[in-house]
Structure 1
């Protein structure tokens, strides 16, 4: 049985890294322009921001809470540029400023991730073991029994766990590298087949210093005729992955194709990653026994009212389903997908490793990042 985790920026935040979009943009404003994100700025101050994308981000700051929001707003910005002044010089400047953003992000993340010379004194094997056994804990009682039954009935193969990371940092690599055990005895049934973690992470969007992939999902999300064809491909993440002449997209799609259970953790279900939501939906529709578990965070999750629980579940289901328009799904297919999607709120069991003591000190601004005071770190969806 193959169980695949898709990890987003929320995982890094859970580990203690200041990798939210807000963290990065506050850093850029302060370093490059000596400005504060939430200060009142006059027009003269805003004009100090000479990068057109950084300037546009500031003007749209109320609409941008996550990296997915930022990517979506890039497309909105290209449409506005197209309407205001359609010329190659403006398009070229946009591309140059976009590359500056990518380089700045690379340097920022390089400085805040765990450095190569840091000695790790922990063994994270127990954290991996907990993840293997409890990745679905937090679903509702009936759903828990359905998944547990599925796992118990797997008596003819190993449980193989694999990661597809959408992050650029080395946090996950650090945890896996410093785990003395990546396999354990079977906890789900009496068979002799074990539970095994595959240490080979698929960094689908690249890693620091190599192929940081940022952008839109398809041509409908930006002013496509504003750019030359080759440049347009560089702005579309699925095309960029293919054109990189590496196997990250192929390998990730292959792993998803073979997965029996797919677990999404720390990711915004945004439109700029629609390619992956479509691939997952296609896999689920081919086999109604396969499951998708989506983890979310709620600041004050209530279970008092069945209606509130239902609405919270349906909101996340609808978020996923809203990106499947290209599949032209019938009502029957949509109903099938809803039955295969399970929602977990505020899980503490997905690679819950506290890496703060291995990080370089970074200035913390009150109210702009998550406070990590306990081992059971919590992450905010607005910080992914």
Structure 2
């Protein structure tokens, strides 16, 4: 049996990392930059912070602020933000305190054993039927939409544990469809229709830089191909920690196609919905319908096709299957202030250096 996990930013957040866009917007907009174009971009984010909850989608819409001949200005803002985001995530990853090996094994064992255990009873029983049939002959694949490598570390520790214990489960190499911090990190939109400025949406340089499938194709790393193959070979797929956003709609359309091809396939969507309270069934049903409608809203499915797929989709709400509470470490107020100040100075210096490099590249490209 092939079980595949699509892992989003909810994984990093769930283990204590500050990887939400909002976590670094507050630092980005405070950077002192001697560049009018970047200052305007900072002000746009600061004044409309709620609209920038999803940077990729918002940046596609942000293209409307530019004229047809201002692609360089648009890309300069993207590149500056990209560079800062990269440095921010590198620092978050570096500062993450990795749990002890035994704790990681417990986390992974619990996640792979219990990811379906808290579903509604009928959904849970349908998944249990798979396990009764296949037993422990399971191949797990993790498709990560994150840029950090913490998931890889967790998976590799558990993979080595399975080998030592001579257990039959197999774990395939983790697939990063959006690259990693140290190699080909990909940030952008799903297709040119999400760049709402019609002129910029036809600009080859803009498309090559911020449309994810085009970037993937150009890189020739095979990220998309490997992920697509893993999905198509799956019996069960679990989507965890992902918002089902439009900038990844290519993958939601692929999952719907995968479900349509075989009625025995099962899709589990574990999603965070802060307004859901199981004591109030109407909130749970509302959240469930919201998730399923959002997922099935991509592509060109007919109502009858959607109704058929609905029976193959299991929804779990507010279930942190990779939960980890890191031990509290006492730190003096002085240490906290020193660390905060040194971080701000370091980021400021890096930002100025990166901006200079971006401006120079822009000048060279315009020659």
Q: State the secondary structure of the residue aligned to 2:19.
A: coil
TM-aligned CA distance change 1:203 to 1:22, over 3 Å: same
Q: State the secondary structure of the residue aligned to 2:143.
A: strand
Greater percentage in helix: 2
Per-residue displacement from partner, 1:73-105 (whole Å, max 9, x unpaired)? 111111232xxx332xx2111112211111111
Match of 2:323 in 1: 352
Give the one of 306, 314, 320 matched to 1:334: 306
TM-aligned CA distance change 1:270 to 1:48, over 3 Å: same
Q: Could you tell me whether the CA contact under 8 Å between 2:71 and 2:206 is conserved in 1?
A: no
Unaligned runs of 5+ in 2: 330-334, 341-367
Match of 2:106 in 1: 126
Give the one of 50, 62, 84 matched to 1:62: 50
Q: Could you tell me whether the CA contact under 8 Å between 2:37 and 2:73 is conserved in 1?
A: no
Q: Does 1:142 align with 2:114?
A: no
Q: State the secondary structure of the residue aligned to 1:216.
A: coil
Match of 1:379 in 2: none
d(CA) in 2 for partners of 1:356, 1:335:
46
d(CA) in 1 for partners of 2:165, 2:305:
37
d(CA) in 2 for partners of 1:4, 1:205:
17
Give the one of 251, 257, 260 matched to 1:282: 257
Unaligned runs of 5+ in 1: 34-46, 187-192, 364-384
d(CA) in 1 for partners of 2:308, 2:179:
33
The alignment covers a number of residue pairs equal to 329
Q: Could you tell me whether the CA contact under 8 Å between 2:189 and 2:210 is conserved in 1?
A: yes
Structure with the larger RCO, 1 or 2 (CA within 8 Å, 6+ apart): 1
Q: Does 1:100 align with 2:74?
A: no
TM-aligned CA distance change 1:19 to 1:104, over 3 Å: same
Q: Does 1:73 align with 2:58?
A: yes
Q: Does 1:151 align with 2:118?
A: no
Q: Could you tell me whether the CA contact under 8 Å between 1:8 and 1:165 is conserved in 2?
A: yes
Q: Could you tell me whether the CA contact under 8 Å between 2:29 and 2:46 is conserved in 1?
A: no
Per-residue displacement from partner, 1:129-179 (whole Å, max 9, x unpaired)? 112211112211111111111221225x82111111111112112223444
d(CA) in 1 for partners of 2:163, 2:7:
20
Q: What is the root-mean-square deviation in Å for CA atoms of aligned residues? A: 2.8
Residues 10-21 of structure 1: pairs in structure 2 closer than 5 A: 10-21=10-21
Q: Could you tell me whether the CA contact under 8 Å between 2:189 and 2:211 is conserved in 1?
A: yes
Q: State the secondary structure of the residue aligned to 1:50.
A: helix
Q: State the secondary structure of the residue aligned to 1:217.
A: coil
Q: Does 1:249 align with 2:234?
A: no
d(CA) in 1 for partners of 2:31, 2:144:
29
TM-score, with normalisation over the residues of structure 1?
0.78
Q: Does 1:210 align with 2:195?
A: no
Match of 1:368 in 2: none
Per-residue displacement from partner, 1:173-197 (whole Å, max 9, x unpaired)? 22234445136999xxxxxx83333
TM-score, with normalisation over the residues of structure 2?
0.81
